[in-house]
Amino acid sequence: MVQRLGKKALLIFAIFLNLPLSSRATVLRQDVISYSLDYYEVKRKETAERQTVQQQQEESLEAKKKEAIDRWKARKEKINNYLKDTIVTLEAKATYNDNLFLSDTNKQSDIVNILSIKADYIPKVDWERKRKTEFFFDFQGDGLSYSTGKSKENTRTGLRTGLNYRITDKYGALLDYQFVKSQATATGSTEGDNEFVQNLASTFGGKLSADWGRFPCSLRYTHETSNFADEDFETSNSIKDIMAVTGNVRISSKTQVFVGYDYGTVAFPKNKASDYLFTTYSTGIRGKLSSKITGIIRLGWGGYDYDAGGTRQTEELGGDINYKLSDRFLFSTGGNRSIEATTYSTNDASEQRNIHFQCKYFPPFNKKLALNGGMNFSNVKLVSSNREDDKTQMRLGAEYGLNRHTKLVLNYSSNTRESNEEGKDYKQNIISLRGTFDF
């Protein structure tokens, strides 16, 4: 046995060193061939194993690359779907106003240029195809403005976002949040008090809805806060909580009769004497009233109950009607009469009447052009002061679509107020030109 192992070792050593074999360690030719085949078989197996491992590594790497590409494609598809449902609009607006502060004795005119951006995301899918949860948002901001004078312009920047959640085919939930930063004219009682005041308002809400066949209904809660940047107006800062219940009866596929009930509390942190609660009721009909008429007719009433004592009753009767005279001419009208209690005093209320007309015309000689106009008349009576104001507004406008993404809009409005109280009359003319581009 030892001798055999020695011969094998000598043979292997001789093969590697290419030495001649001595006669004392004679090796048969078949042994040399057998040993060589064993050696090369081991090498072949080692090479095959290395190739197998390398191939497995390459396959694993390719699989990872494919998974990464598939994940990116899925993300890209989601991003593309979001982008398809998102409309971004850029707007440049130049406005001339000949009476910024609505004064008859202290008229100030100015030209203001504003660049605004707006973005809306609302999924464009049918309810039956919607996912369990749908996200939405819209944003509008008057970000940049330039004035030829020292005055500013009424501006508004707002963001609304939320979630629609589909509980079942019949039940759904909504959560939404809105933040608005606005700047508007504040007209004082004496000359020199005219200024622009900023307001920050936020609203959080939740809604539960049920689609019970012919009887859909909803329950909504809203929490609103409003704060003014100027300390002179901080007594108007408010916190409002509202609970609203709405029920509907479908009398046809496109027409509903509705009833509603609202209960709310309003608190003024800097003016506790003005806190109050209110309840309102409403009923009416809305939707398609005939083959060419759509709109809403409503009746409402309710009351204010002030913490400082005293109550006020409110009522409202009104509606809005849209009439399609032809494919080229659209006409709408509406009006209302209401008695509203003031939110700052227990002994004042206002009686208001309003009627308005508006039309839009698409001329046959130019498919890119649309003309519009309107008039609005209102009368306001204050109960305690016997003050009465008549307001009139006339509007003319034209829209021209340069292409499917760009349009130019020219508007003119004339506003007047006539009052039985001295110093409250005014006349105002506003001309604006704006260009919009959406993508």
What are the residue ranges spanned by the domains of the chain?
2-69
Query: What pLDDT is recorded for position 169?
Result: 82
Mean pLDDT in residue range 134-149: 72
Query: What pLDDT is recorded for position 23?
Result: 44
Mean pLDDT in residue range 101-118: 83
**pLDDT digits over 285-294, tens only?**
999 988 889 9
* Distance of alpha carbon 403 from alpha carbon 279, whole angstroms: 49
Judge whether residue 20 has pLDDT over 70: no
| 278: exposed, middle or buried (Cβ count in 10 Å: 0-12, 13-18, 19+) | buried
Across 211-292, the runs of DSSP E, i.e. the strands, are 217-228, 238-252, 255-267, 276-288
pLDDT band at 124 (very low <50, low <70, confident <90, very high): low
**Claim: this prediction has a pTM higher than 0.75:** no
pLDDT band at 348 (very low <50, low <70, confident <90, very high): low
Mean pLDDT in residue range 154-176: 88
Query: What pLDDT is recorded for position 233?
Result: 83
Percent residues over pLDDT 90 in the chain? 37
Mean pLDDT in residue range 237-254: 93
Q: How far is CA 394 from CA 209, 318, 334, 379, in A?
A: 40, 21, 15, 15
**pLDDT digits over 316-338, tens only?**
999 999 998 888 999 999 999 98
Judge whether residue 358 has pLDDT over 60: yes
